[in-house]
């Protein structure tokens, strides 16, 4: 069986590290984290510290596009047939889709409810300049909606940012005919065993119940600091619904009723319910 390189593509704050740690806790898999960041100066391996002290990532900055993942597969060991990369961006993945023959590429498109992302972006972009910058980027991405968006609320701007990012992933996977599985943050956090079992079968491996206890494994690569709290709880079924308190009922309703959002969900066979987006 050919080895497989798995790219998790998503918007920020969608749970990609959480999913990668679950997948990377399989006995034949390795969680890499965001390799696009590991090649940057000052970004360290979570387990080993300085990347050059890590047998997996030593000298990673010197690897070429052609040697990058083959080298990581070799260093991971013969027993490993899955590498999980959570770099999230199509701009990173596109560099590697035509450079390999000894392993298959799989894409996981992870989607989280835009209401949750809007809360995060509202908290992140607090200055007027940063908000205007976000507005300009969205207007550039949707020139036909300039009149609609130019004076719309900041939350609406972030909704279209979400639409742009997730449609870009859909277009990317279709353009290159990539083997893709779409899952949602809602379904993963509320029914992790079912979602993992489905994913592992698709990836050619048998689901292992120990994957749910990902905190019991030492993982290389990058990890998010906020996962320390989640790991200490020693539970996998943790769904973050803080957006419910952050958004007013009116804001939430306006987001959910947006025609472009409804169209995107319908085209991709997704449904928005009380706690998030689901495949049902």
Q: Band of the pLDDT at 228, cuts 50, 70, 90?
A: low
What pLDDT, in 10s, does the model give residues 18-55?
999 999 999 999 999 999 988 887 777 777 777 777 88
Give the span between the Cα atoms of 122 and 83, in whole angstroms.
33
Mean pLDDT of 206-220: 91
33 and 137 both lie in a single domain:
no
Percentage, residues of the chain above pLDDT 90: 78
Domain CATH for 21: 3.40.50.300
37 and 95 both lie in a single domain:
yes
77 and 37 both lie in a single domain:
yes
16 and 98 both lie in a single domain:
yes
**Which residues lie across from 183 on neighbouring strands?**
110
Q: Which of 129-133, 151-155, 217-221 has the lowest mean pLDDT?
A: 217-221
- Collect all residues with Cβ–Cβ distance below 8 Å to 37 and sequence separation of at least 6: 43, 87, 222
173 inside domain = no
48 and 103 both lie in a single domain:
yes
Which of 252, 279, 275, 255 shows the shortest CA–CA distance to 265?
Answer: 279
Percentage, residues of the chain above pLDDT 70: 94
98 and 71 both lie in a single domain:
yes
Burial of 92 per CB tally in 10 Å (0-12, 13-18, 19+): middle
98 and 46 both lie in a single domain:
yes
pLDDT at 224: 67
Please provide the average confidence, as pLDDT, over all residues in the chain. 92
pTM: 0.93
62 and 141 both lie in a single domain:
no
Domain that holds residue 259: 114-168+242-278
106 and 127 both lie in a single domain:
no
């Amino acid at each position: 069986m050919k080895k497989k390189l798995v790219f998790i593509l998503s918007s920020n704050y969608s749970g990609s590290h959480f999913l990668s740690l679950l997948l990377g806790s399989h006995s034949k898999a390795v969680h890499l984290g965001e390799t696009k960041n590991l090649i940057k100066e000052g970004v360290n391996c979570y387990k080993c510290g300085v990347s050059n002290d890590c047998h997996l990532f030593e000298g990673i900055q010197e690897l070429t596009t052609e040697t990058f993942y083959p080298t990581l597969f070799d260093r991971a060991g013969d027993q490993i047939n899955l590498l999980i990369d959570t770099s999230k961006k199509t701009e990173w993945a596109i560099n590697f889709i035509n450079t390999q023959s000894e392993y298959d590429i799989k894409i996981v498109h992870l989607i989280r409810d835009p209401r949750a992302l809007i809360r995060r972006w509202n908290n992140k972009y607090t200055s007027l300049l940063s908000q205007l910058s976000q507005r300009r980027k969205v207007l550039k991405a949707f020139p036909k909606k300039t009149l609609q968006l130019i004076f719309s609320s900041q939350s609406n701007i972030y909704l279209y940012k979400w639409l742009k990012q997730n449609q870009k992933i859909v277009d990317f996977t279709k353009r290159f005919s990539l083997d893709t599985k779409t899952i949602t943050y809602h379904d993963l956090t509320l029914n992790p065993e079912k979602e993992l079992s489905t994913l592992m079968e698709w990836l050619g491996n048998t689901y292992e119940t120990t994957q749910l206890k990902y905190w019991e494994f030492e993982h290389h690569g990058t990890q998010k600091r906020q996962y320390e709290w989640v790991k200490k709880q020693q539970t996998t079924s943790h769904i973050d619904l803080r957006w419910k308190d952050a958004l007013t009922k009116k804001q939430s309703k306006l987001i959910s009723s947006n025609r472009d959002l409804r169209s995107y969900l319908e085209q991709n066979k997704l449904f928005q319910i009380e706690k998030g987006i689901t495949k049902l």
